[in-house]
Amino acid sequence: MSAALSTSEPSYPGAVAPERTRALDSFGLPIRLSEWGDPAAPPVVLCHGMFDHGRGFDTLAPLLAERFRVIAIDARGHGESGWCDAYPWHVDVLDVVNVLRSLDRPARVVGHSRGGGLATDAAIRAPELVRQLANLDGFGPPPDGFGIPGVPRDARSLPERFADFLDDRRRSTRTHGASRVYASLDDLVERRRAQNPRLTREWLRYFVFHAARPMARGWVWKADLRAARGFGPWKPEWVGPGWRALRSPMLAVIGSEPDTWGPLPESILGDRLANVAQLERATVAGAGHFIHMEQPRATADLLLSWLDRS
């Protein structure tokens, strides 16, 4: 095997591998769960963002595990979980609900970015299973979408995007969502850093090692690219009103530093959060969108203080 493919697992200060892993069957698909902490302790469920994975919580989870049983989900089409032919949003939500149902008591749920949206909708779907909800910058995109470095904005109308989505679904095959092959792990690190420049190469090397796998000709992402658009186009204006049904208390967290993916302007964020009945807000200093990766200790201290109230 070439040097590019023989990379040993990197380490990172404060990162702790899961103490236990297991697979949960959710609608016939294996969902990988990583766990830290005393299995008898109160549970906290962690939901990651788009194209991330449960091991992205390796620096946050061990800090929360000092008091809780921590369970990080690999969403379908991500990490070590299975792939499927389509990724409707409501199925991802029900995957989170099924994880909650597998526990012996109601849980606290923490979600980042896309995972924050899934966690919020899961709490709405199964309020009896969620004691508290912490959303880490997972409040949906701005009305005109996120501006991704190097990617032009999609100026097409919603009907045009729906038509393209349906055409893509008709063409979809089992290999359609496969990633391109990268010559080395470092190439993957640089690809990820182009979109997440606040994240250090040292951290990204650790994170990307668990987000990719070596193949005969190089490295490929574990994530199914179809998961990004599996539920089709939608309007961000639909996000906030749906939160009126949320019964769990929400801690809404943003980072202090502008980033590619957030935070939203206060005029938009405040309007959306006005729909949440039981709301507390917080800002983590020195963090961009990837709050728990950039400032794991400050994020853990904030979460532990809030979670201890119930």
pLDDT the model gives residue 290: 98
Per-residue pLDDT at 107 exceeds 70: yes
Beta bridge partners of 135: 111, 252
pTM of the model: 0.91
Domain chopping of the chain, boundaries: 20-147+231-307
**pLDDT tens by residue, 188-234:** 999 999 989 999 999 999 999 999 999 988 999 999 988 876 666 67
* Inter-axis angle of helices 114-125 and 89-101, nearest 10: 60
- CATH 3.40.50.1820 correct for 20-147+231-307: yes
Q: Is 155 helix (H, G, I), strand (E, B) or coil?
A: coil
Q: Are 286 and 49 spatial neighbours (Cβ–Cβ below 8 Å)?
A: no
Average pLDDT of the segment spanning 275-293 = 98
177 — pLDDT class (breaks 50, 70, 90): very low
240 token code pair: 């906030």
Mean of per-residue pLDDT scores for the chain: 90
Q: What is the DSSP string of 69-132?
A: EEEEE--TTSTTSPP-S---HHHHHHHHHHHHHTSSS-EEEEEETHHHHHHHHHHHH-GGGEEE
Rounded CA-CA distance 196/217 in Å is 26
CB neighbours of residue 210 within 10 Å = 22
Per-residue pLDDT at 65 exceeds 70: yes
pLDDT the model gives residue 260: 86
